[in-house]
Amino acid sequence: MKDLAGRTAVITGGASGLGLAMARRARELGMRIVLADVEEEPLLRAVAELRAAGAEVLGERVDVSDDAQVARFADRVFAATGEVGLLVNNAGVGGGGYVWETGEEEWSWVLGVNLMGVVHGIRHFVPRMLGAERSGRTSHIVNTASIAGWIAPPLLGAYNVSKHAVVALSETLFHDLRSAGSGIGVTLLSPAFVPTGIARSERNRPSALAEAGPLTGSQERARESVERAVAGGRIGADEVARMTFEAVEEGRFYVFTHPQILPSVRERFEAALSGGAPADPYGQRPDRRPGRSG
Ligand SMILES: NC(=O)c1ccc[n+]([C@@H]2O[C@H](COP(=O)([O-])OP(=O)(O)OC[C@H]3O[C@@H](n4cnc5c(N)ncnc54)[C@H](O)[C@@H]3O)[C@@H](O)[C@H]2O)c1
């Protein structure tokens, strides 16, 4: 989609990391910006920063895992701006640990934000984007998945499942739009490790979904390895934002920020098609493999 200037970009998880970097890029391109985030202070700071840089910007405290909150948010966005040119379903959280040690609370939290957050964004924004398209205004949707939507590394069960689901959801959304005769664009962003706040996701965990007991060895190991990998990410959030907007402008669906990992994706599918055991997700990056835990 060309001509982003003057259109409205709605970005969930926009107070930090990739979301904030995308908001900055949207500002550079002359877009009006609406940020949704569950974390109040960083949200206020992000709004102030973008406003000081000359953007027309709104910020709303929204928990994307809550369908009713997203419904009210969408109502307010369309009332305030009249249109949405770009919807970025980006808010996300990550936990970890062996699958059999991952509690109900963690599944609810991670799937609630990473998967249902995207579902809610689609349900409450897309019908009105389709309406606008019928009156001649097209638009575009970006969903943030992860390379964990394409390979399934150990210790990240709930996160892997949530991101595989976002890949399936986004491809289905693309096909559904085309089958409905819509040309609304879709871009699926699949980053690998990028230095952001994702390794500190616990800060946003609702107390009702707190871990029941102390962390197990595998949960600690997962946190340490994600922290290390995220801190060591060599591509910055600004670069990911630049790649994403380039794909939006060119109407491209898939964005893989770390092409060096793609051989692992190929090995995964080749192993499946050849009937072998699952390929080693860390085959290309053995240095990223978390050590064994009890
Ligand atoms: N950083 C990476 O290495 C990496 C890699 C692959 C995918 N991702 C994905 O990128 C997206 C952005 O994450 P990030 O890396 O910028 O991390 P981040 O923690 O810096 O940003 C995530 C934002 O989402 C917000 N958020 C969390 N729960 C929310 C909720 N319930 N409702 C609304 N907002 C909520 C947080 O407050 C935060 O501002 C996520 O979907 C993440 O899974 C990140």
91 within ligand 1 shell (Cβ under 6 A): yes
Q: Any idea what the CATH number is for the domain that residue 131 is in?
A: 3.40.50.720
Give CA–CA dist 60/79, Å, rounded: 14
Burial of 70 (0-12, 13-18, 19+ CB in 10 A): buried
pLDDT band for position 292 (cuts 50, 70, 90): low
Residue 132 within any structural domain of the chain: yes
Check pocket membership of 16 for ligand 1, CB cut-off 6 A: yes
Residue 146: inside a domain: yes
Cα(277) to centroid(ligand 1), Å:
32
* Mean pLDDT across 17-44: 98
Which own/partner pairs from 51-55 qualify as long-range (CB within 8 Å, at least 24 positions apart)? 53/24, 53/27, 54/27, 55/26, 55/27, 55/31
**Closest ligand 1 atom to 113 CA:** 31
Q: Does residue 64's CB lie within 6 angstroms of at least one atom of ligand 1?
A: yes
159 catalytic residue (yes or no): yes
How far apart CA 230 and CA 193 sit, in angstroms, is 5
Predicted confidence band of residue 226 (pLDDT cuts 50, 70, 90) = very high
- Domain annotation covers residue 277: no
Identify the DSSP state of 156.
B
pLDDT given for residue 293 in this prediction:
52
Give 198 Cα–ligand 1 centroid separation in angstroms: 6
Model confidence pLDDT, tens digit, residues 232-266: 999 999 999 999 999 999 999 999 999 999 999 99
Is residue 55 one of the residues assigned to a domain?
yes
On whether residue 287 sits in a domain, the answer given is: no
* pLDDT tens digits along 78-91: 999 999 999 999 99
Task: Show the domain range for 233.
Answer: 8-261
pLDDT tens for each residue of 131-152: 999 999 999 999 999 999 999 9
Task: Identify any residues that bridge with 142 across adjacent strands, giving them in sequence order.
Answer: 88, 187
Measured CA to CA in angstroms, residue 130 lies from 4, 21, 90, 185, 227 at distances of 17, 27, 21, 11, 40
- Rounded distance between C-alpha atoms, residue 229 and residue 287, angstroms: 10
- Return d(Cα 109, Cα 203) in angstroms, integer: 12
Q: What is the pLDDT of residues 149-169, one digit of tens each?
A: 999 999 999 999 999 999 999
DSSP 157-213: HHHHHHHHHHHHHHHHHHHHHHHTT---EEEEEE----SSSGGGGGGG--GGG--SS
* 274 found inside a domain: no
**Residue from 182, 189, 170 nearest 246 by CA:** 189
Measured CA to CA, the distance from residue 101 to residue 98 in angstroms comes to 5
Write down the pTM of the prediction: 0.97
Distance CA 245, CA 122 (A): 19
Domain membership flag for residue 125: yes
Q: Return the exposure string of 218-232: e unless at least 16 CB atoms fall within 10 Å of the residue's CB, then b.
A: bbebbbebbeebbee
pLDDT of residue 212: 79
Q: In the predicted model, is pLDDT for residue 291 greater than 70?
A: no
Helix (H) or strand (E) holding 252: none
Q: What is the total count of domains within the chain? A: 1
Q: Is 225 in the pocket of ligand 1 (CB under 6 A)?
A: no
Handedness of CA 164, 196, 261, 28 (dihedral sign): positive
DSSP string of 38-106, one letter each residue: S-HHHHHHHHHHHHHTT--EEEEE--TT-HHHHHHHHHHHHHHHS--SEEEE-------B-GGG--HHH
For residue 223, is it within any domain?
A: yes
- Rounded to whole angstroms, the Cα distance separating 47 from 35 reads 8
| Mean pLDDT computed over 32-41 | 98
Distance 196 CA to ligand 1 centre (A): 8
* 292, burial (CB in 10 Å: exposed 0-12, middle 13-18, buried 19+): exposed
- Mutate-to-test residue for ligand 1 from 40, 66, 163, 198, highest number of ligand atoms within 8 A of CB: 198
Ligand 1 probe mutation, 10, 20, 25, 37, most atoms within 8 A of CB: 37
Tell me the pLDDT tens digit for each residue of 43-79: 999 999 999 999 999 999 999 999 999 999 999 999 9
Mean pLDDT over all residues of the chain?
96
